[in-house]
Amino acid sequence: TNEVVQFLTRAGLRKYAEPLIVNGFEDMPTLLEIDDDDMKDLGITRGHMVKMKKSLRTFECLQICDAKAQEFAADPLELEVTAPAHAPGLLQSRERSPNADVSRSWSQLQAFGIQPFAKVFAREFFRLLPDVQGLFTPEVCEKYWNWSSGAPPDPNDALALHTQVFAKMLATIGGVAANMKDP
């Protein structure tokens, strides 16, 4: 199956696969370049345009996270972070102090979205420590579900449940660290 079709299916936008592919958006690098005019011309409704852009940002962030995780695994001392295409000024630095760096880092993570990082973090955590996965039962994970973000994930979808737990942990740690004051 075409990668665009797979992406659209996961995003709940499968009905747009044919018009997108017929009009040249047959691969993800091309689809990532789609703009509002393109979507409007293809008959994509406003709400679905918002959903498409959000899904594309998440896809792009996951690609960045996966690439950085592989880069970090290869050489943890040489990891270089760059801003995504949709937010080129995101990583510009003004103030230089350890506390400012932590606050800026937390702001950057929030701008990218905590969920994509939590998903990669959860996946890699359990890949490295598979024996602890039993501690994160569906019942435990469901307690961490953010009810304001819609219906809870399927209790049989371990990665979705674990992502929620790790998103809560990242949000808690990040919020505390960003608000710490230098001694």
Reported as a single tens digit per residue, the pLDDT across 60-87 is 877 766 666 666 555 544 444 444 554 4
pLDDT level of residue 93 (50, 70, 90 thresholds): very low
Contact between residue 40 and residue 49 where contact means Cβ atoms under 8 Å apart? yes
Distances in Å between the alpha carbon of 8 and those of 2, 19, 48, 154, 169?
Answer: 10, 12, 11, 20, 29
pTM: 0.44
**The pLDDT of residue 122 is above 60:** yes
Look-up of token digits 């569906």: 138
Pairwise CA distance, residues 108 & 143, whole Å: 27
Structure tokens at 84: 């995504």
Tens digit of each residue's pLDDT (9 = 90 or more) over 134-179: 887 777 776 666 544 556 666 677 777 788 778 878 777 777 766 6
How much is the mean pLDDT over the chain?
A: 75
pLDDT level of residue 91 (50, 70, 90 thresholds): very low
**The pLDDT of residue 4 is above 90:** yes
Mean pLDDT of the region 81-94: 48
